[in-house]
């Protein structure tokens, strides 16, 4: 059931997609209390949805929260053997050094629930060049940065800052420093226990990514809701110019179901540096080829492209890199 069928697929997983009001007209009020309903949406809107369901007589409602989502994805992907779970790898005895930057914006709404983040997580204000309000000690307008492009790049201005001011700094390169660097953003954080961290070094994990989200019929159809065809053409031209071997498999990646959402990542220092050196030149050329160009618009189209490029890069390098997956919790 959806609030409106407009913009939605007609069928998901073989199940017809129905307008909520039409379903109400077919189910007598006295029968609704015995129907099991799964609320499979982002957690920030589940309260509102459950209130609507209860007010219309649906009493047996189950929320698909981040923890349940992680359990479902772990079991599902264990069966297909493609996207391995970090939690299923053997734990080790030692914890690696980890440094994660949590992108935050002055536009973020306050959380309903207080959250205690691990000591290795540091808040990084992104888009600081576009506002006067300061919300964190660290900000992406220091050192070498693209903070002013946050309207297009969103959390990726934070990743750029990490690349240029942490991964490329002489102190970090010459010193021991953290072995794993990462980016979380706004309300999206990895679910990582101490045992999970011990699995990184024990299993020589190169990168941790969120379980990919399955889309129907493919991720190309999903992105059509957010990006114009001209933007995709600009991205493909940039790939053909800078990374032709990736351009060759671009259509194949768009034509499959799985997408790494949110631009979140945790990786070995060199692995993350290599990814950033690949990613940002492509996005820069895409900006130049876009119409209108990036600086002439305020939508986060580059941020959306970043999710697809993260998917393209790591799916193409799945045999070369040791990739593990974990849940991505939505903070509310």
- Whether omega before 217 lies within 30 degrees of 0, making that bond cis, reads yes
pLDDT at position 177: 56
Sign (positive or negative) of CA dihedral 140, 143, 145, 147: positive
Which residues, in sequence order, are CB contacts of 290 under 8 Å at separation 6+?
Answer: 230, 231, 234, 297, 301
Tell me the CA distances in angstroms from 108 to 103, 266, 330, 331, one per residue in order: 10, 23, 13, 12
Tokens, residue 286: 């895409």
Nearest C-alpha neighbor of 156 from the set 193, 197, 126:
126
Positions in the chain whose pLDDT score sits under 50: none
pLDDT at position 227: 84
Distance CA 37, CA 320 (A): 42
Nearest C-alpha neighbor of 221 from the set 4, 3, 11, 2:
11
CB 148 within 8 A of CB 160: no
Q: Which residues pair with 122 in a beta bridge?
A: 101
CB 235 within 8 A of CB 302: no
The 10 Å Cβ neighbour count of residue 303 is 21
Distance CA 263, CA 239 (A): 19
The pTM is what?
Answer: 0.93
Distance CA 191, CA 195 (A): 11
Tell me the CA distances in angstroms from 222 to 6, 29, 217, one per residue in order: 14, 35, 8
pLDDT at position 81: 85
pLDDT at position 176: 60
Tell me the CA distances in angstroms from 154 to 126, 151, 304, one per residue in order: 8, 6, 9
Helices (H), 43-202: 46-55, 66-80, 150-153, 156-162, 170-174, 194-202
Distance CA 223, CA 239 (A): 18
Tokens, residue 242: 């800078």
Please, what are the domains in the chain?
A: 11-64 (no CATH), 70-330 (3.90.550)
Q: Widest CA span of the chain, in angstroms?
A: 70
3-class DSSP assignment, residue 104: strand
Tell me the CA distances in angstroms from 82 to 50, 73, 74, 156, 272, one per residue in order: 34, 12, 11, 27, 21
Q: Is 124 exposed, middle or buried (0-12, 13-18, 19+ CB in 10 A)?
A: buried
CA angle 150, 155, 156 (to 5 degrees): 80
């Amino acid at each position: 059931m959806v609030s409106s069928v407009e913009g939605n697929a007609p069928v998901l997983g073989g199940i017809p997609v129905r307008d909520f009001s039409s379903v109400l007209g077919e189910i007598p009020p006295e029968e609704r209390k015995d129907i099991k309903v799964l609320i499979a949406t982002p957690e920030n809107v589940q309260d509102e949805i459950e209130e609507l369901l209860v007010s219309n007589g649906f009493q047996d409602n189950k929320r698909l929260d981040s923890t349940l989502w992680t359990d479902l994805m772990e079991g599902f992907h264990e069966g297909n053997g493609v996207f391995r779970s970090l939690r299923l790898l053997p734990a080790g005895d030692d914890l690696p050094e980890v440094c994660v930057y949590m992108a935050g914006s002055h536009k973020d709404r306050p959380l309903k629930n207080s959250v205690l983040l691990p000591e290795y997580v540091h808040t990084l204000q992104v888009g600081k060049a576009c506002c006067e309000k300061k919300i964190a000690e660290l900000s992406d307008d220091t050192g070498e940065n693209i903070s002013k492009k946050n309207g297009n790049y969103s959390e990726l201005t934070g990743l750029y800052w990490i690349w240029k001011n942490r991964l490329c700094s002489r102190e970090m390169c010459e010193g021991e420093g953290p072995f794993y660097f990462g980016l979380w953003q706004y309300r999206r954080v990895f679910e990582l226990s101490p045992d999970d961290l011990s699995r990184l070094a024990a299993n020589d994990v190169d990168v941790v990514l969120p379980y990919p989200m399955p889309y129907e019929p493919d991720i190309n159809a999903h992105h059509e809701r957010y990006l114009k065809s001209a933007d995709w053409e600009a991205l493909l031209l940039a790939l053909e110019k800078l990374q032709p071997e990736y351009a060759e498999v671009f259509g194949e990646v768009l034509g499959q179901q799985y997408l790494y959402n949110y631009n979140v990542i945790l990786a070995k220092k060199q692995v993350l540096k290599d990814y950033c050196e690949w990613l940002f030149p492509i996005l820069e050329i895409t900006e130049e080829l876009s119409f209108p160009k990036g600086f002439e618009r305020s939508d986060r189209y580059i941020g959306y492209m970043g999710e697809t490029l993260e998917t393209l890069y790591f799916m193409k390098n799945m045999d070369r890199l040791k990739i593990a997956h974990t849940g991505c919790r939505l903070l509310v």
